[in-house]
A = this chain, B = another copy of it.
Amino acid sequence: MIDYDAFLSQAAARMQESAIRKMGTVLAQVEDVISFAPGYPAPEMFPWQQFQEIARALLQGDEGRVLQYGPTRGYGPLLEAILELQAARGVGGRLDELLVTTGSQQGLDLVARVLLDPGDVALVELPSYTGAITAFRNAQARLAGVHQQADGIDLDDLDAVLGRERAAGRRVRFLYVVPNFQNPTGLLIAREKRRALLEWADRRDVLIVEDDPYGDLYFEDSASPADTRPIKADDGAGRVIYLSSFSKTLAPGFRVGWIAAPAALASKFEVAKQASDLCSGGFDQRVVLESIKRGVLAAQVPRLRAHYQHKRDVMIAGLRAELGALVSWPDPRGGFFLWATLPGGVDAEGMLARAVSRRVIYVAGSAFFVDGGGSSLVRLSFSAPTPERIAEGVRRFALTVREELDAQTH
């Protein structure tokens, strides 16, 4: 027998499967589970017919480059179109600051590889997105957690954590934030805090990695474009690396995201991407471009806002009706996620087996905490299930919580 462990890199020896992906595996084994676990967009909202027409046009065979290898930076006309999209969000920029990625996850991976040496510090929120956590961990970085408040990251704690890490002789490379409808909490970082973050980054000489997959998906009853204006929009100094994606607004099956960053960093991301996958899919990129040019994306976004807002409403109404004051949460003002606190003493991870037996599933909050916290929290995604399934899933979830509470007291 070959001892394969002896061949592993230090990073690989430590690599662990993502909690959310693990959920997916559990899920696949149980019939008729209602899943609030993965942050999947609603497939019934994908613009199928338009994609079909676009695919037919692209695959006529009159333009060989559609299916050829393409530039590592991305397909030129798509890059131009992304510049315009960004401008609508208030983000200026030039072509040499832009890079198409194979989904936003590749963006996070490139950030990790280009900016992190083993032992370097990445500041993340408590809680933070698991995909970022694993990408940064794979670079063997040290992840230092910063507390949150209702209006986003706690600036005092941020500066205290930075000070502590530096006092210990460590290099702090960047702060990672998801300012719009954060995964997993759904929180928005307040406008004045965004400005304060930029000033802080400049004062402390760190970079900001701003991950913005959900910004377009604000709910019109409680948020506005002004609330979701990216930090990058006011980044005169070049402190911000901005990541976004078409996975939530068009479809994740086409793997297209992007990075906007100072040109000196963008060129490093490009070289790192060369070795990672040469180029993102030529067909996928052209489907996205055509969706922009034909107005499919522009028509899609308001539909999605209303769609996910309605699903949020169904989930909140169900939780109120079924669990009353037993669980609490900040009302999501956009995005895919509701972040709920379980009644005292209930452990979200421990409750999971019971939830599966009740055929409902969620992600236990601890997956999102780099400091071991979050045991009484759950992330409930309302994006993918139909409203009927959300209502039924919440009933099953409520039953699970009540049974768990009963089991504790008896």
Interface residues of A (CB under 8 A from B): 2, 4-5, 7-12, 15-18, 21, 24, 38, 40-41, 43-44, 46, 48-49, 51-52, 55-56, 59-61, 64-72, 102-103, 105-106, 108-109, 112-117, 120, 131, 134-135, 137-139, 173-174, 205, 207, 237-239, 247, 251-255, 262, 264-265, 268, 270-272, 274-284
A138 to B253, CA, bound (A): 28
A252 to B68, Cβ gap below 8 A? yes
Contact partner, A103, options B24, B174, B277, Cβ 8 Å: B277
Contact partner, A72, options B16, B21, B265, B279, Cβ 8 Å: B21
B40 to A61, Cβ gap below 8 A? no
Q: With A12-B268, A274-B21 in contact, is A69–B114 under 8 Å at CB?
A: no
Can you report 27 residue pairs joining A to B where beta carbons are below 8 Å apart? Answer: A2-B237, A2-B262, A4-B264, A7-B265, A9-B115, A9-B116, A9-B117, A11-B114, A15-B268, A15-B272, A18-B271, A18-B275, A24-B71, A40-B69, A44-B64, A48-B59, A48-B61, A67-B254, A68-B251, A70-B253, A105-B275, A105-B277, A109-B276, A134-B274, A254-B283, A283-B283, A283-B284
Residues of B within 8 A of A262 (CB): 2, 4
A65 to B41, CA, bound (A): 11
Q: With A2-B238, A9-B115, A60-B48 in contact, is A106–B253 under 8 Å at CB?
A: no
Contact partner, A51, options B59, B139, B252, B279, Cβ 8 Å: B59
Residues of B within 8 A of A71 (CB): 24
A255 to B280, Cβ gap below 8 A? yes
Integer count of this chain's copies in the complex: 2
B281 to A281, Cβ gap below 8 A? yes
Residues of B within 8 A of A278 (CB): 103, 105, 131
A46 to B17, Cβ gap below 8 A? no
| Interface-centre pick from A56, A61, A112 (highest chain B CB count, 10 A) | A61
Contact partner, A271, options B16, B44, B116, Cβ 8 Å: B16
B46 to A114, Cβ gap below 8 A? no
A139 to B21, CA, bound (A): 26
A131 to B275, Cβ gap below 8 A? yes
Residues of B within 8 A of A51 (CB): 59, 67
Known: A9-B114, A55-B56, A67-B254. 18 other contacts (CB 8 A): A2-B205, A12-B115, A18-B271, A21-B72, A21-B274, A40-B68, A41-B68, A51-B59, A51-B67, A52-B55, A52-B60, A52-B61, A55-B55, A106-B276, A112-B275, A134-B274, A281-B281, A281-B284
A33 to B340, CA, bound (A): 61
A402 to B272, CA, bound (A): 38
Residues of B within 8 A of A115 (CB): 7-9, 12
